[in-house]
Amino acid sequence: MNVVIDLLPSPHHYFTLAVDYWQRSATTRKSADRRRVAADFDVDVIESGFFPRQPLPRLPHAFSVWEQALTDAPDQLSLYEDESEAATAKRVSGESWRAQVRSWPVIDTEVLQSNLRLSQRAHLVLAWLVHYYVHSSPEPTDDKAFVVPKSIAVPLVAISRHLGIAPVLTFADTVLWNWELIDATEPFSIDNIRFVNLFSGTEDERNFYLTSARAEYRGIEMLRIIDEFNNLPNVEDDMTSISKVARDLTRLAAIIDDISDIIQSVRSVVDPHVFYWDLRPWFEGSDAKGPNAAGWVYEGVENTDKLDLSGPSAGQSSVMHALDVFLDVDHKLKSRRYPAPSDANKRADHGFMERMRRYMPGKHRDYLSWIATRSLSIRELASRTSQLREPFDGAVLALKRLRDLHMRIACLYVVTMSRTTPTAYAGCPVASMMDRLQKSRAAGDGPTRGTGGNELTLLLKAGRDATRRTVLKDN
C-alpha cells in the first residue's frame, strides 16, 4: 500500500501543475485578445468601414409578410398629422395595413440568428414597420401610451437582443443597412449605392441619408489611422513611429475637415422645411415629446419602460464615436480639463453619447470598447511628446469646427424650422399639424428636442465644448 502511495504525485506537484495551467491559460487568453482585429467586430477598415460590404439579403419566405408590408407601406400610409389631400386619401388603406399587421402571428426569429446579415435585415424591416405603424396612426386619447402590436414588437425585441441593438429605428437601419447596389457587378462604394426605404418618398430624404453615408464613408480612412496607431510597436521609443503619428494626425485633421464639407453640403440637397415637416416626424421615438410623455408600450414584452426607444440620430454614428474615443474627448466630464465646463454644460445630459452606443449594432459598440483599451492614449502620448502636440491639437480643433458647423446645421433644420408652419397644400387645411404646433407653443415654448426627446441645443453645445477641452494647449 505504501508503495502505491509513494507512486502518487505529491500535493506540491498538483499545485505546480495548476499554477502552470493557469499561467498558460492566461497567456493564451491574452494572446487571443491581441490577435483580435477590427474585422472581428464587423468593421472593415479598408473598404467599407461600418457598412456591410454587400446589401442585406431579403428575409426567407417564412417572413414574407414583413417584407411585403414594408414594400406596401409607402403607397398605403401617410403621417396621421398630415391633413393634405394626398395624405387623407390614404387613411382607409392605412387602417387596412395596420389591421393586417395586428392580425399576424408572432413569428419566431431564432432561425435567423445564425446569420448576421439576415438578423440585421430583420431588425431593419421590423423597425421600419414599427415607425410606419406608430406615425400613421391617430394619437391615443387622454395621454395614454401608444400600443405597438405584439406581431412586430415581440420579434423586434428578440432580434434586437440578439444583435445587441435598441429595438427601434436607428442610424444603422436608415443609413448603414438601407441601400442596394446601383450596379450589382461593381463592389460597394459610396457612388454605387442607392437608398431603398423612404418614409416621405422625397429626394430630400434620399439625399439626407446619402449625406450621412458620405460622412461615414470618408471616415473609413480615420479607422485605418486608428488601427495603424494601435498596431505600432514601441511607439514612445521609436522616432520613426512618432513621425508617422504626427503625419497621421495632420491627415486626420484634413479628413475631419472633409467630413465638415460633406455635412455643409446637405444645405444644397435637403430642404430644411421638407426635412422638418415631412421626414423628421417619422423618426420620432417613444420619448420624442419629453421624459414625462406616455410614450409607447410594446405589447407582449415585459418592462417596456426599460427599453431604449428613441429614434435614429447622428449621435449613433460609430465613426464619430470612434474619433471621440481615439482623441479622448471627455463627454462625461470625468477629467479635470480647461476651460471649465459652463453651467449649461453641467446641465446637459452627460450620458447622452454613451446611451447612443446602445443604438449601435452590438459588434460596433464592442469595437469602440476594444479600441479604447488597446494601447496608450494618443492624447497622453501627445501631451509628453513635443513633436505631437501641435498636430494633435490640430485634429481636435478640426473636430471642434465640425461640431460648430453641426450646431449651425441643426439650428437651421430643427430649431428654426420648429418656429415655422407646414406648407399649406392648395385647398387643403393643415389643421392637425397646426394644432400640434400651437399646443407646443401654448405649453410654454419649451426647449427644442431631438428625435430622441433630448434638449438639442444643450447637447450640441456640451459636445462642442467637451471637444474644445481636449486641446492640449490649454491644459
Domains of the chain, by residue range, sit at: 61-468
Cα atoms in the Cβ-side hemisphere of radius 13 Å centred on 90: 21
DSSP-derived letter for residue 306 is: G
Distance CA(256)–CA(324), nearest Å, equals: 12
> How is the chain split among helix, strand and coil, in percent rounded to 5?
60, 5, 35
Residue 284: the pLDDT is 96
Tell whether the torsion through CA atoms of 40, 43, 48 and 50 is positive or negative.
positive
Residue 474: the pLDDT is 73
All residues at 6 or more sequence positions from 130 whose CB lies less than 8 Å from its CB, including other chains: 148, 152, 153, 156, 168, 169
All residues at 6 or more sequence positions from 228 whose CB lies less than 8 Å from its CB, including other chains: 244, 248
Residue 442: the pLDDT is 42
Known binding-site residues equal 406
What is the radius of gyration, based on Cα positions, of the chain? 26
Contact of 263 with 257, CB cutoff 8 Å: no
Write 334-339 long-range contacts (CB < 8 A, 24+): 337/469, 337/470, 337/474, 337/475, 338/469, 338/474, 338/475, 339/468, 339/469, 339/474
Distance CA(162)–CA(166), nearest Å, equals: 10
- Name 152's bridge partners: none
pTM over 0.85: yes
What is the CATH class of 61-468? mainly alpha
The SS3 call for residue 49 is strand
290, burial (CB in 10 Å: exposed 0-12, middle 13-18, buried 19+): middle
Residue 427: the pLDDT is 37
Contact of 331 with 324, CB cutoff 8 Å: yes
Tell whether the torsion through CA atoms of 135, 141, 146 and 151 is positive or negative.
negative
CA 14 to chain centre: 51
Contact of 288 with 453, CB cutoff 8 Å: yes
Distance CA(261)–CA(70), nearest Å, equals: 34
Distance CA(330)–CA(309), nearest Å, equals: 25
Per-residue pLDDT of the chain (475 residues; tens, 9 = 90+): 444 444 445 555 545 555 455 555 544 444 444 578 999 999 999 999 999 999 999 999 999 999 999 999 999 999 999 999 999 999 999 999 999 999 999 999 999 999 999 999 999 999 999 999 999 999 888 789 999 999 999 999 999 999 999 999 999 999 999 999 999 999 999 999 999 999 999 999 999 999 999 999 999 999 999 999 999 988 888 899 999 999 999 999 999 999 999 999 999 999 999 999 999 999 999 998 777 788 999 999 999 999 999 999 999 999 999 999 999 999 877 777 777 777 677 666 678 889 999 999 999 999 999 999 987 899 999 999 999 999 999 999 999 999 999 999 999 999 999 989 887 443 333 344 444 444 444 444 455 655 544 577 888 898 999 999 999 987 7
Q: Are strands 296-298 and 146-148 parallel, antiparallel or unpaired?
A: parallel
Q: What are the distances in angstroms from CA 244 to CA 43, 102, 179, 241, 254?
A: 23, 59, 36, 5, 15
Distance CA(385)–CA(391), nearest Å, equals: 11
Known binding-site residues for heme b equal 406
Residue 167: the pLDDT is 99
